[in-house]
Chains A and B, each alone.
Chain A
């Protein structure tokens, strides 16, 4: 393990821990962004440039903004007051620790922990990635495109449905809503 890898791993893990333990939701979202950016840097460090930049675009660029918007729309910033330490959170932490212990035990006892040689960085030029996407993985690519379209339409429909119901309720009971409008 090299020093850059250690630094990036520590940054990612610190961001992850902060995002799951901080009290205010906006701080959690910022820490989550740090964790995503650290992961993107880890991908770059491992030689997967395209995946790292895609991670940066999708997670730091889109999902972090989406989470901030969800916090704003649900007024998560001013509904605080969950206790820092409760029996339920203790149970969850114990389960997570047990999962980590099993995973670490599996990694340490497997043969991959003692390899014969470390291969050099594999070639992954954009041309190769594009050719692979267009030849071998062209059907999954089209399916992903369709799924993203469906998810976009579905998310929009789910998020605006309640407003249409409110309009219908206003039509049903005009006396109560007229005072507001």
Chain B
């Protein structure tokens, strides 16, 4: 297996782990953590394609990772603030107990 395929397999595994966590865990904080893991898996893909793909001196994938890290930081801050606000409102951070908008 060459380095690029290895990176992509590691990234796919990390994405699957994050997806499984986001789908199965009941704590809202761990759902956010799973989403962060999926974002990081995508970042690893960008770095791998930048490193092993053609035309790396344009720094395209590299710049995408820098911007993605900034967006993920903002997303985590807002998401965790929402979880804290929901906890103050509903006194739980368990996503299966927050059913106010259930149809």
Q: Which residues of A contact B (CB under 8 A)?
A: 1-2, 5, 9, 12-13, 16-17, 19-20, 25, 28-29, 32, 35-36, 39, 42-43, 46-48, 50-51, 54-55, 58-59, 62-63, 66-67, 69-71, 73-74, 76, 79, 82, 88-89, 91-93, 95-97, 99-100, 103-104, 107-108, 112-115, 118-119, 121-124, 128-129, 132-133, 137, 140, 144, 147-148, 151-152, 154-156, 158-159, 161-163
Partner of A50, one of B27, B37, B66: B66
A13 and B33 contact, CB distance less than 8 A: no
5 residue pairs from A and B, CB less than 8 Å apart: A16-B37, A25-B29, A70-B83, A82-B27, A155-B78
B2 and A113 contact, CB distance less than 8 A: yes
Partner of B33, one of A28, A89, A158: A28
Distance A132 CA – B59 CA, assembled complex (angstroms): 8
Interface size class of B (residues with CB under 8 A): 35 or more
Q: Which residues of B contact A (CB under 8 A)?
A: 1-10, 12-21, 23-30, 32-34, 36-37, 40, 43-44, 47-48, 50-52, 56-57, 59, 62-63, 65-67, 69-78, 80-85, 87-89, 92-94
A45 → B minimal CB distance (Å): 10
Q: Interface of chain A, helix or strand or loop or mixed?
A: helix
Partner of A124, one of B4, B29, B62: B62
What 8 A-B pairs have minimum CB-CB distances, sorted nearest first? A92-B23, A20-B21, A122-B56, A151-B74, A96-B20, A100-B16, A103-B12, A92-B24
Q: List chain B residues, Cβ under 8 A from A28.
A: 30, 33
Which residue of chain A is the closest to B33 with respect to CB atoms?
A: A32
B20 and A92 contact, CB distance less than 8 A: yes
A104 → B minimal CB distance (Å): 6
B56 and A151 contact, CB distance less than 8 A: no
B5 and A13 contact, CB distance less than 8 A: no
